[in-house]
């Protein structure tokens, strides 16, 4: 019976609450599917700043590098949001991605039929939406050369200015496109690449490399190019037309949050950050929600669904991953809702509003009834 080492990074705000419920799900699940899990818990984000003065302690990074997978809750909050602060919780997350070599972020956007009314879009627009957005994580404008804001002076009028540089190498583009193309090959065989090639030199490189990689390595996958501004409109007007989407760091950051709202609540959406090996970082896409932290009302389903992605992508436990996803869907079908989804129900459905722990318990109950 294999044993896997998973590092838990509860983080800040509601992070510890949703990670705790996810751990309980994994502990229930593992024996039934023939494997063991050993957990380690470490600091990341604001709690790490408070304890050590650094958002990513060396001990945390070392443990994550040695793990089979990492599960993160959330980082950040107003306590650490001073613009003048030299260290911020989000620096820990960026450093962790870089330190683990995680260059591809996968965000599945699937509309649960039971929650279709949670979205601000018309139900007929959302029918059939099931897409995967692959975002490049360690390059582009977030990591390119930059000035410190306010320290650079322009030649016109002595006004202060700052700059951030969008830089991509051909290999950085090629490796994330390969991740997206492999996913597209396993799904519908269609891939959309998003750039701004009509304006940006880095995007022209992106488009050239993408076209070459797809032609040489994935001729069986249909490739389409979209400019990012057009893609932003298409995601609202005809989201069901898209399956796998790949984009750079900045554009992907914006588009994934836009796509997240198709589902009506960030509390339902998981993510995976992957590199060249099987070990990855898995986290719900929602933030730390400090306004509800400690109240027992946070939605744990995005974190639990992130554990399903962890099982699938890092541990190779596909049956266990599907079992979690089925258990979550059964909980929704039965009418269980956390407060963020309290108003979402089918016309003939009675809903029961439950807290974080109760929702976790419901998922575990349904999980026990799913054959392995």
Q: Out of 58, 220, 229, 291, pick the active-site residue.
A: 229
Q: Which of 1, 23, 32 is nearest to 369 (CA)?
A: 32
Hey, CA dihedral for 53, 54, 55, 56, is it positive or negative?
A: negative
DSSP 273: E
C-alpha angle with apex 167: 166 to 168, nearest 5 degrees? 130
Q: Out of 196, 336, 340, 366, pick the active-site residue.
A: 196
The contacts of residue 235 (CB under 8 Å, 6+ apart) are: 242, 255, 258, 259, 262
Q: Is 229 a catalytic residue?
A: yes
| Residue 18 main-chain phi, psi, to 5 deg | -75, -30
Q: Is 98 a catalytic residue?
A: no
Cα separation, 50 vs 39, in Å, equals 23
Cα separation, 143 vs 102, in Å, equals 14
Cβ atoms within 10 Å, residue 233: 10
What element of type H or E holds 6?
strand 3-11
Q: Which of 168, 56, 175 is nearest to 104 (CA)?
A: 175
Q: Is 257 a catalytic residue?
A: yes
Q: Is 142 a catalytic residue?
A: yes
Q: List the structure tokens of 360.
A: 């976790």
Q: Find the length of the chain.
A: 372
Q: Is 28 a catalytic residue?
A: no
Q: Out of 28, 117, 130, 142, pick the active-site residue.
A: 142
Catalytic residues: 142, 196, 229, 253, 257
């Amino acid at each position: 019976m294999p044993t896997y080492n998973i590092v838990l990074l509860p983080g800040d705000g509601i992070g510890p609450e949703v990670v705790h419920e996810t751990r309980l799900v994994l502990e229930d699940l593992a024996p039934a599917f023939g494997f063991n899990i050993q957990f380690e818990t470490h600091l990341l984000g604001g709690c790490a700043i408070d304890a050590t003065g650094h958002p990513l302690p060396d001990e945390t990074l070392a443990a994550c590098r040695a793990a089979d997978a990492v599960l993160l809750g959330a980082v950040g909050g107003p306590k650490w949001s001073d613009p003048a602060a030299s260290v911020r919780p989000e620096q820990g997350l960026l450093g962790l991605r870089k330190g683990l070599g995680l260059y591809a972020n996968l965000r599945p956007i699937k509309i649960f039929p039971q929650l279709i009314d949670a979205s601000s879009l018309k139900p007929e627009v959302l029918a059939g939406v099931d897409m995967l957005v692959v975002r490049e994580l360690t390059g582009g404008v977030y990591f390119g050369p930059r000035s410190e804001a306010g320290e650079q002076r322009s030649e016109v009028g002595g006004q202060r200015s700052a700059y951030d540089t969008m830089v991509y190498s051909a290999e950085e583009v090629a490796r994330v496109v390969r991740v997206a193309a492999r996913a597209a090959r396993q799904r519908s065989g269609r891939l959309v690449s998003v750039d701004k090639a009509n304006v940006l030199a880095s995007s022209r490189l992106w488009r050239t490399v993408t076209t070459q990689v797809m032609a040489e390595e994935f001729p069986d996958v249909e490739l389409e190019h979209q400019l990012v501004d057009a893609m932003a409109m298409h995601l609202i007007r005809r989201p069901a037309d898209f399956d796998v989407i790949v984009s750079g760091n900045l554009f992907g950051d914006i588009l994934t949050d836009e796509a997240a709202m198709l589902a009506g609540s960030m509390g339902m959406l998981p993510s995976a950050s992957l590199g060249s090996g099987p070990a990855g970082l898995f986290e719900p896409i929602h933030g730390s929600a400090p306004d509800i932290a400690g109240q027992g009302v946070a939605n744990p389903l995005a974190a639990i669904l992130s554990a399903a992605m962890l099982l699938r992508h890092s541990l190779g436990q596909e049956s266990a991953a599907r079992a979690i996803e089925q258990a979550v869907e059964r909980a929704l079908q039965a009418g269980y809702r956390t407060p963020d989804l309290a108003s979402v129900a089918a016309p003939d459905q009675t809903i029961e509003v439950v807290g974080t722990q109760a929702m976790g318990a419901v998922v575990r109950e349904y999980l026990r009834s799913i054959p392995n």
